Each structure stands twice: as C-alpha cells, then as structure tokens.
Amino acid sequence: MSIHTRHLDKRFGAVPVLEDINLDIASGELVALLGPSGCGKTTLLRIIAGLETADRGELYLAGVDASDTPARERQVGFVFQHYALFRHMSVAENVAFGLRVRPRARRLDERTIRTRVAELLERVQLQGLEDRYPAQLSGGQRQRVALARALAIEPRVLLLDEPFGALDANVRKDLRRWIRSLHEAIDVTTVLVTHDQEEAVDIADRIVLMNAGRIEQTDTPEALRMQPATPFVAQFLGAPAQGASVAAC
Amino acid sequence: MPAHPRHRRVATTEPAWLRRLLIGLAIGFVGLVLVLPLVAVFTEALRKGIDAYWAALVEPEARAALWLTLGVALFCVPLNLIFGIAAAWAVTKHEFPGKAALITLIELPFSVSPVVAGLIYVLVFGAQGLLGPWLVARDVQIVFALPGIVLVTLFVTSPFIARELIPLMQAQGTEEEQAALTLGANGWQIFWRVTLPNIRWALLYGAILCNARAMGEFGAVSVVSGHIRGQTNTLPLHVELLYNEYQSAAAFAVASLLALLALFTLIVKHLAERLQVRPRAPATAPNIGGIAA
Amino acid sequence: MRLAAQSGPDSLLNVSYDVSREFFRDLNAAFVTRERSAGRMLRIEQSHGGSSAQARAVADGLAADVVTFNTTTDVDFLAERGVVARDWRQRFPLGAVPTTSTMLFLVRRGNPRGIRDWADLAKPGVQVIVVNPKTGGNGRMAYLAAWGAVRDRGGSDADALDFVTRLYRNVPVLARGGRDATGAFLQRNIGDVLITFECEVISVDREFGSGRVDAIHPSASLLTENPVAVVERTVARRGSAELARSYLNFLYTPEGQEIAARHGIRPRSEAVLRRYANVFRPLKLFTVEQHFGSLAEAQRVHFNDGGTFDRIYTPGKPA
C-alpha cells in the first residue's frame, strides 16, 4: 500500500514539530525515517498510524484520503519502541488480540485463530513460548512478539518505531537482517523510524532524512551519500572527513 | 554445602545483635501498638461473659447498626469503584483542560477533617443551610437520615480507589491502549481487555481500603447521623453511645465486631496479594473480555 | 397496621442527651403501653448524644418531635431559632422541667479522706476529678455548684472565687466529659473524689460494680434542670403536636416520675421523692438563677474565653 502526505503541519502547543511534510512511499517499499532525536520522525509515524492527527494537510493511504480515518480502522501494524505488549496476556494471547477484537461478522473461529497464531509465532521463531508472559521474555523475543502481533491483523503497512533502540548491539544486527528478510517474504510496505544512520543505510530501500520538523532529502542510501542536497545531509551521513569538507564549503 | 550459611552471613553487614535489636523493636512496637489493643478489645468485650457478649451483638439496636453500616458500605464501595475508575481513566489516559484541578479535587477529602466534611453537608442540606428551605418545603430529609450518611461516607471514601489507580495507571502509560487501538479494538474492548486487567489488583486493594473506611468512619457520620437508635446509628456511633452510657462490655463487644470486620478485610487483602504474586491464571483476561463481548 | 380510631402520626422522635437512654427506654415502654390500651399503636424513636450537639442537630433539621435535654440553654438555643416556642418554659408545668438532678461527690469505699462537704475538696493533698467546664455541661454544673455552695452559706463572690480557685488547684487533670472523668476515677484510679451528677451514680455502680465507691451528699448543692420542649417546626409538619404534648406530659404523671426516680433522676413529685428518700437524700438545693441570674449569664461571666474560669485555672500549673 502506498503512503502519501501533502503539506502536513503539526504543532505541540506553540512548538512546531512537523512543517510542510510531503512524503511519497510506494507500495512494498522499506523506508527509514532518519534524523536526530526531536526532528519529528516519530510524530510523522504516529500520524500515519492515526495515533496523532495533523493540524493541517492530507494523508493518503493507497491513494485514498485517510486523514480522518480512525486508527482502529486503518489496518496499520504498529510496533512501539518499548513494544507495548499486553503484560497480563501470554504470548499467544498477545498475538491473537487483533483477531479476537474484530467485529463479530469478521471474527475468525477460535480454531483458525489458533492456527494463525501458531503460524505467526513460527515465522518470528518463537514456537514453544506461546504460554510465556512478556515479563518472562528477553528484549529480542519481546520485539518479535510485538511484530507477530502487528502482523496478525494482516496490516497494509507496517510501522516500526525505533525497532532496535532498546536492544543490545549483537541482537540489533541479527534482527535488522531478519526484518529485511521478513519484509522481502511478506512484501508489506514498511516504514521504520531510527536515529541511527548505519541502521537506516543497512536496512532501507530509501531514507527520508528529517531535521527540525522538515524533510531534508528523500533518496536511496547511496544517492544521499553521493549527492547530499543540504549541508545537514552531508554532515549527518558523512564520515568526519566529508563533514570537514562540508564545513569548508 | 557448608559454605552456604557463611555466605548468607556475609550478605548482611550489620552485627547480629543489632539485627536482633531491630527485629525485637519492630515486633515490640507491633505488639504494643496493634496486637495489645486488639487483645484488649476482646478481653473487655468478654469481661461479662460470652452470654453478655452475645446479647450485646444481637440486641435490636446493635443489629440495626450492623445492617446500616454494611448497607452503607455496600452502596458506597461500588459507586466509588465506578467513580475511581472513571476519574483515574480520565486523568491518566487523556489530556484536557482543568486536569490538574481535577487531581487536586480528587484528593480533597483526604485533606479535609471528617468532622468538617460532615459540617459542610449540614451547612448545605441542613434546615438552616443553603438548600435547607427548598428541601424542607418538599419534605426531603437529607442530613440526619440515611441519604446524609451515605453522602458523607461517599465523600470521605471517594479518594481511596482513584488514589490507588492513578499512580499505577500513570506508570503504565497509554502505550498498551494505543497498541490495542492500532490492532482494531474499540474503546470498550480496550477498557475491558487491556486497561482493567492491568489495574485489577490495585482496584481490589483500593476497594478493600474504601470498604474499611466506609465501615469505620466516625467523625463525618457522627455529625450528620442524628444518632437515632435503630435507624441512623452506625456501628462506630453505637460503640461510642454504649461507652458513654457506662456499658463498656457491650461497647467493646460491638467494637470487636468492627475489629472482626477489619480482620476479615485484612485477610481478603492478604489473599489478594498472594494471588497477585502467583503466576496468574491465563484464563482470566479472555474471561473478562468474554463478559464484554 | 392502623387502627380505625387512630389518626395522625404513629411515631415520635425524642432527641435527648447522652446518658438518658435507659430512663427513656423504660419511660417509652410505659407510654406506649398506656397509649395502646387507649387504642393507639405507637413507636417512640430515641436519639442520644451530647446535649449541645443534639440541640445543634435539631436546629439543623434533625426531625425531633420533642427534645429532652439536661441544660436549659440548649432549649433556649432552639427557641432563639424559632424551632421551639419562645415561651417554652410556660408550655409545661414547673417551668417545663419534669425532672432534676444535682451534683454530688463520689469517694472511694469507706471514704478514706473523710470528705463530707465542699470545703474538704479544697484541702491540701486532696485530688479532685472533675470535667472541664469548657468542654462538658457536667463540668459547668460542678463549677457552679462549688461557687454557689459558698454563696449559699452567705459568702461573697470574692469568697467563692477564693474557694473555687483552691478547689481547681486540687484538680490533677481536667476530664473532657462525664465518661472520661469516671474512667479516670475508677479505671485509672486517679484522684480521691469525683464530682458528678447524682443520676450517674447508679450507672457507675452498675458498670464498675457496686460497693467500690460511696456517694457523699454535701450540705448544699446545685439543682440542675432537665427541660423538655415540643419542636414546633417538626410537629407542625407532621401533625404530631397533640401526641408530642401528651408524651411530655406523661413525664409528669406519677408513673413517669416513678420511672425517673428508679433511674436516679430526681422527680418533681414530693410523694415519689419521699418514697425514694434513701436514694435522693435531702440536701439544700439552690438554683442557678439564685446565685448567677441565669445559666446564660453564668456562661458569659464564668466560662466564655477570658471569663473567670480561664483566670483561675492554668493547665499544667503545679498544684
């Protein structure tokens, strides 16, 4: 599913957090929203999910104006930075949640739900942990439960907020590769937020580089590196030597 | 393993005598301040024998006081449960103007002396009060009748549940609710399946505290009760009246009833805490959801 | 169930002071029985508490049909607010005071300190237990009894002031209320003598076992009045005026007076008084009006902040 935004503005009180955001993400892409903390990237992600509303501008999901569609109807898989797993539910119950809260007419029977949960847990390599509770899992395992839970609703788009932020270095690398391969396997439009340029470069088809509420440049990792549109882009992505040359020009 | 006990001793740096002294002090304090008075209540209550004890409890006025007290608690606790959840939900899961004022207002009954709380209701609903003439003209009795007792009890017990819930819900944040939202849950489903299960123990604990206070409240109720025997006399008031009438044994017998209610509450709380520590039964959450669905 | 003959309300609420429950329980039973034989089924509800607090509650709307207090100022308080008739004193016989009491002494069994009269209370080394006049009606009556006893013997106000000052120097600690004072005297065994209402002696005997204390009647003491009044505000609304009057008048009947006497409350009927002469030993009784003008006047001069009592008694001052 494609995502387009036109002239999105958002303020928190008097503070502008997003200004004139025009974003174009094609169906099936894996895009990283990259930028220093406080640049508005998480807010943009939450606007796409429907957890925040923009003050102005439009959001199109699959070409349809979704600016006023409630979050629960957007069919967006959202993985929170700290996973937000339901702490009183087992792994299986967490994953099944999105299926169980469907309106009666669209609800699957319990047997089908169980089969689906088993498939999803297999996909995220958590077979055998169905009855554990979130508190009994490692960080990486929780991350994958959150992913499985988001995938259970067959999202049209997968949104990941700092998906590796809370993990240690080794796990991050593995998970990065794994998400990349998962993306290729399920072919769902994926947007992830990160402040780590190495991570963005490693995983994304294209990078949206943001600074202070604005999009500085949107391009492939190579293009960003080779043809930075602004000094900020060059500085943010560049090696120290290149940074010096930016400062020189 | 011989090394094991030595390791344990190393783990605490305080000398043994100090530990024993502190433990002794704690036990002594609890004994003196809590256990001794409790024992005294039952000793005094049984001073004139088990028959007199029983007679004091089954006396019509004592029975009426017991039913009144239980009835008031039975009415106030569920109402405060609803109010507490609504207030905590509003305060912790939403942003709105006047939120800080609302939090302060929720806490207000804790900072007002119960007697003053009672007087406030007399000033509002009493014959010489704000609404007095209007009420008198319509022959509606609020203070010095059951409605007054219920109102002041609601007032003094209203913060208990909200106070238990607000810090917990603040700590838990709103992310789980947001996650449920993106997964397609509606508001009602979010409340029953996500919010409520996460707060159920705090809720139970708050309800227990609320109930204990509702049954034990003296000051505020004393002001608005009117002390009509067999009608508006609650158990704590009945204890006072008996005591003032030089009927100590009866007074302590009725007091022991209150103490037993308190002990019962304590046991319920203890059981609740044990349930909480134990790995929870996975069936609970879907059950709650099942009720809602 | 209503009998055909009956009209009007079938219940009354009597708001009363705090140690009168047993008396009114018996009195109500007798009244209900009498009314039943006349074909009227009745219920009398009772409310008991500190007299002044009860008066406040009635003023604030407690739906009493009648009040039966142990201090006339509490009825005056209601009269000022139009809750009872202004001339409530004239509405019933004997100034609307069907029963009285007086202040006397309780000493430990055998009277080891040899206390006979007021003067003995001011002797050095005697410890007197008494209620704080600022917090309890019992304490106000004890104070006025002590002061009045001096005046009654022909002493001046200066003599009375001197005596009362010395008496309160013998008070180790003021009790908050009647029940506190008795508790201090009999449970914690503080003091040699307790000044209290005559009608409390019977309850004290029952609660703490008879024979632990002796009652001492001084040569003269204060007559304290237990006034009654119909609460006009309530009876007008409920139509219970006739019933309320008939109930209060019952207090004056030989039967009502007899029941009062049985509970240690002084009847006004000379005949009943004589029958209970062993309980109500004769002593010279003086009234508040004789030596203080009125209770309200006494309150103003002696007990209000900055009054005589504040000047003679300093808490914590060594005796």
Distance CA C296, CA C311 (A): 19
Q: Is the model's pLDDT at B281 over the cut of 50?
A: no
Domains of chain C by residue range:
11-97+227-252, 100-223+282-312
Q: SS3 helix, strand, coil % of chain C, rounded to 5?
A: 45, 20, 35
Question: pLDDT band for position C103 (50/70/90)?
Answer: very high
Alpha helix segments (H runs only) across chain A: 41-49, 91-100, 110-123, 139-152, 169-186, 197-203, 221-226, 231-237, 240-248
How much is the pLDDT for A172? 83
Distance from CA of B251 to the nearest CA of C (A): 12
Question: pLDDT band for position C279 (50/70/90)?
Answer: confident
Task: State what percent of residues in chain C have pLDDT above 70.
Answer: 96
Distance CA A22, CA A44 (A): 11
SS3 B134: helix
Phi, psi of C112, rounded to the nearest 5 degrees? -60, -25
* Euclidean distance between the first and the last CA atom of chain C, given in angstroms as a whole number: 64
Burial of C129 (0-12, 13-18, 19+ CB in 10 A): buried
Distance CA A176, CA A169 (A): 11
Distance CA B26, CA B23 (A): 5
Q: Is the model's pLDDT at B291 over the cut of 80?
A: no
Q: Token pair for residue C146?
A: 């002590």
Q: Which residues of A touch B182 (CB under 8 A)?
A: 49-51, 71-72, 74, 76-78, 150
SS3 B43: helix
Distance CA C128, CA C42 (A): 45
**Amino acid type, A111:** R
Query: How distant, in Å, are the alpha carbons of A73, B197, C136 from that of B183?
Result: 9, 18, 68
Residue-wise over B256-293: b if at least 16 C-beta within 10 A, else e? bbbbebeeebeeebeeeeeeeeeebeeeebbebbeeee
SS3 B193: helix
How do A30-34 and A189-194 pair as beta strands?
parallel
Instruction: Calculate mean pLDDT across residues B25-31.
Output: 90
Q: Is the model's pLDDT at B292 over the cut of 70?
A: no
- Nearest CA among A121, A72, A123 for reference residue A98: A72
Distance CA B153, CA B160 (A): 12
Interface test with B, best of A73, A88, A132 (most B CBs within 10 A): A88
* Helices and strands counted in chain B (H then E): 16, 0
A247 or C39: which leads in pLDDT: C39
| Long-range contacts (CB closer than 8 Å, 24 or more residues apart) made by B107-112 | B107/B159, B107/B163, B108/B159, B109/B155, B109/B156, B109/B157, B109/B158, B109/B159, B110/B159, B110/B163
- Asked if B244 and C60 come within 8 Å (Cβ–Cβ), the reply is no
B–C contact: 3+ Cβ pairs < 8 A:
yes
Instruction: Calculate mean pLDDT across residues A13-35.
Output: 91
How much is the pLDDT for C7? 55
> A110 touching B, CB under 8 A?
no
Give the side-chain half-sphere CA count within 13 A for A135.
Answer: 5
Alpha helix segments (H runs only) across B33-98: 36-45, 49-58, 60-93
Chain C residues within 8 angstroms (CB to CB) of chain B: 13, 15, 18-19, 21-22, 45-49, 54, 57, 59-63, 81, 177-179, 182, 200, 203-204, 206-207, 233, 237
Complex confidence, ipTM = 0.89
Burial of A175 (0-12, 13-18, 19+ CB in 10 A): buried
> B97 touching A, CB under 8 A?
no
Q: Which residues of A touch B287 (CB under 8 A)?
A: none
Q: Report the residue from A74, A84, A88 with minimal CB separation from B197.
A: A88
- Asked if B144 and C13 come within 8 Å (Cβ–Cβ), the reply is no
Which residues numbered 21-80 in B keep a CB inside 8 Å of some CB on C? none
Q: Report the residue from B181, B194, B280 with minimal CB separation from A72.
A: B181
Q: Token pair for residue A18?
A: 């997003």
Q: Which chains touch C (3 or more CB pairs under 8 A)?
A: B
Q: Which residues of B touch A98 (CB under 8 A)?
A: 183-185
When computed from its CA atoms, the radius of gyration of chain A, rounded to whole angstroms, is 19
Which residues numbered 147-176 in A keep a CB inside 8 Å of some CB on B? 149-150, 152-153
How much is the pLDDT for B15? 83
Interface test with C, best of B228, B232, B233 (most C CBs within 10 A): B228
Distance CA A72, CA B190 (A): 11
How much is the pLDDT for C316? 54
Mean pLDDT, rounded, of chain C: 89
Strand blocks (E) in chain C:
11-17, 43-49, 66-68, 99-108, 128-129, 193-197, 213-216, 220-226, 228-230, 266-267, 284-286
pTM, two decimal places: 0.79
Q: What is the pLDDT of residues A137-153, one digit of tens each?
A: 988 899 999 999 999 99
Q: Report the residue from B181, B184, B282 with minimal CB separation from A102.
A: B184
Distance CA B111, CA C156 (A): 51
Phi, psi of C229, rounded to the nearest 5 degrees? -155, 155
Q: Report the residue from B126, B241, B245 with minimal CB separation from C61.
A: B126
> A106 touching B, CB under 8 A?
no
Interface test with B, best of A48, A82, A101, A145 (most B CBs within 10 A): A101
Distance from CA of B113 to the nearest CA of C (A): 18
Give the side-chain half-sphere CA count within 13 A for B103.
Answer: 14
Please, are residues A122 and A144 in contact by the beta-carbon 8 Å criterion?
A: no
Q: Which residues of C touch B122 (CB under 8 A)?
A: 60-61
Please, are residues A150 and A99 in contact by the beta-carbon 8 Å criterion?
A: no
Q: Which residues of B touch C61 (CB under 8 A)?
A: 122, 125-129, 132, 136, 141, 143-144
Q: Token pair for residue B240?
A: 């006072």
Residue-wise over B2-31: b if at least 16 C-beta within 10 A, else e? eeeeeeeeeeeeeeeeeeeeeeeeeeeeee
Mean pLDDT, rounded, of chain A: 88
How much is the pLDDT for B276? 67
Torsional class of C235: left (φ above 0), alpha (ψ -120 to 50), beta (otherwise): alpha
Q: Which residue in the block uniquely carries the two structure tokens 């508490």?
A: C49
Q: Is the model's pLDDT at C20 over the cut of 70?
A: yes
Query: How distant, in Å, are the alpha carbons of A208, A236, C216 from that of A31?
Result: 7, 17, 101
Domains C11-97+227-252 and C100-223+282-312 share a fold: yes
- Asked if A150 and B183 come within 8 Å (Cβ–Cβ), the reply is yes
Please, are residues A192 and A41 in contact by the beta-carbon 8 Å criterion?
A: no
- Asked if B229 and C204 come within 8 Å (Cβ–Cβ), the reply is no
SS3 A23: strand
Q: Is the model's pLDDT at B142 over the cut of 70?
A: yes
Distance from CA of B65 to the nearest CA of C (A): 13
Q: What is the pLDDT of residues B187-224, one digit of tens each?
A: 899 999 999 998 988 898 899 889 989 998 998 998 89
Please, are residues C7 and C239 in contact by the beta-carbon 8 Å criterion?
A: no
How much is the pLDDT for B30? 87
Q: Which residues of B touch A89 (CB under 8 A)?
A: 197, 282, 285
How much is the pLDDT for B5? 46
Q: Is the model's pLDDT at A26 over the cut of 50?
A: yes
**CATH code for the structural domain at C100-223+282-312:** 3.40.190.10
Q: Which residues of C touch B128 (CB under 8 A)?
A: 59-61, 81
Please, are residues A189 and A204 in contact by the beta-carbon 8 Å criterion?
A: no
Q: What is the dihedral of CA A133, A138, A139, A140, to 10 degrees?
A: -110
> B136 touching C, CB under 8 A?
yes
How much is the pLDDT for C319? 41
**Amino acid type, C255:** E
How much is the pLDDT for C87? 95
Q: What is the pLDDT of residues C172-225, one digit of tens each?
A: 988 888 888 888 898 888 999 999 988 887 778 777 877 888 889 999 999 999
Burial of A11 (0-12, 13-18, 19+ CB in 10 A): middle
Mean pLDDT, rounded, of chain B: 84
Task: State what percent of residues in chain A have pLDDT above 90.
Answer: 57
Q: What is the pLDDT of residues A111-120, one digit of tens each?
A: 999 999 999 9
> How many interface pairs between A and B have CB atoms less than 8 angstroms apart?
80
Q: Which residues of C touch B231 (CB under 8 A)?
A: 45
Question: pLDDT band for position A246 (50/70/90)?
Answer: very low
Q: Which residue in the block uniquely carries the two structure tokens 């809720």?
A: B203
Q: Which CATH superfamily is domain C11-97+227-252 in?
A: Periplasmic binding protein-like II (3.40.190.10)
How much is the pLDDT for B293? 28
Instruction: Calculate mean pLDDT across residues B42-63.
Output: 89
Interface test with B, best of C20, C60, C77 (most B CBs within 10 A): C60
What DSSP line would sit under B209-250, residue for residue?
HHHHHHHH--HHHHHHH--BTTTT--HHHHHHHHHHTT-HHH
How much is the pLDDT for C36? 92
Q: Report the residue from B241, B244, B246 with minimal CB separation from C204.
A: B246
> A101 touching B, CB under 8 A?
yes
Q: What is the dihedral of CA B139, B144, B146, B150, to 10 degrees?
A: 120
Q: C259: how many CB neighbours lie within 10 A of its CB?
A: 25
Q: Which residue in the block uniquely carries the two structure tokens 């102005």?
A: A56
Which DSSP symbol is given to C65? S
A–C contact: 3+ Cβ pairs < 8 A:
no
> A93 touching B, CB under 8 A?
yes
Q: C294: how many CB neighbours lie within 10 A of its CB?
A: 14
